[in-house]
Amino acid sequence: MSLTVEQSRAIPVGVADAFAGTLPLPLPTLFRHWYGPIPPIRAVRDQTGEWNAAGQTRTVLLTGGGSMREQLTEIDPPHGFDYTLTDIKGPLAPLVDLVEGQWRFTPDGDGTQVSWRWTIHPRSTLARPALPVLGWLWQGYARQA
């Protein structure tokens, strides 16, 4: 059984600009702070070209030595994009087998509602009880991004 968590915020730019400004944003710029045990992103490796096509993969390196493999699975400009995180190593590895991520961009008055969602799949049935705590921590991490 997985857990889905989501964080949203309104920003004062149009949907197309919000999408265009988020997809290619360098991850270490967006995720640069610790939140509890969730580390910032230190670097991205093994990415070829711009991050803009379904099927592309890259390795995300975390502060403290963790890493994960990210793959873009769907891009629907300017409405959103989906990705998966696999090969998770580091502090989340005992808990998380796979993450399905989604970013969505919807009109909100004169701006855009940006929503970021994670569906977290536990590594084992023993890890499942810890998912609500991880979800709560992730929401704090997402709020400060």
Q: How many domains does the chain have?
A: 1
| Domain carrying residue 35 | 3-144
CATH number at residue 77: 3.30.530.20
The span from the CA of 111 to the CA of 5, in Å, is: 23
Phi and psi (nearest 5°) for 133?
-65, -45
For the entire predicted model, the pTM comes to: 0.94
The model's pLDDT over 45-80, given as tens digits with 9 standing for 90+, comes to 999 889 999 999 999 999 999 999 999 999 999 999
Q: 61: how many CB neighbours lie within 10 A of its CB? A: 20
The model's pLDDT over 98-140, given as tens digits with 9 standing for 90+, comes to 999 999 999 999 999 999 999 999 999 999 999 999 999 999 9
Instruction: Report the DSSP beta bridge partners of residue 78.
Output: none
What does the DSSP assignment read for 88-144? EESTTTTTEEEEEEEEEEEEETTEEEEEEEEEEEESSTTTGGGHHHHHHHHHHHHHH
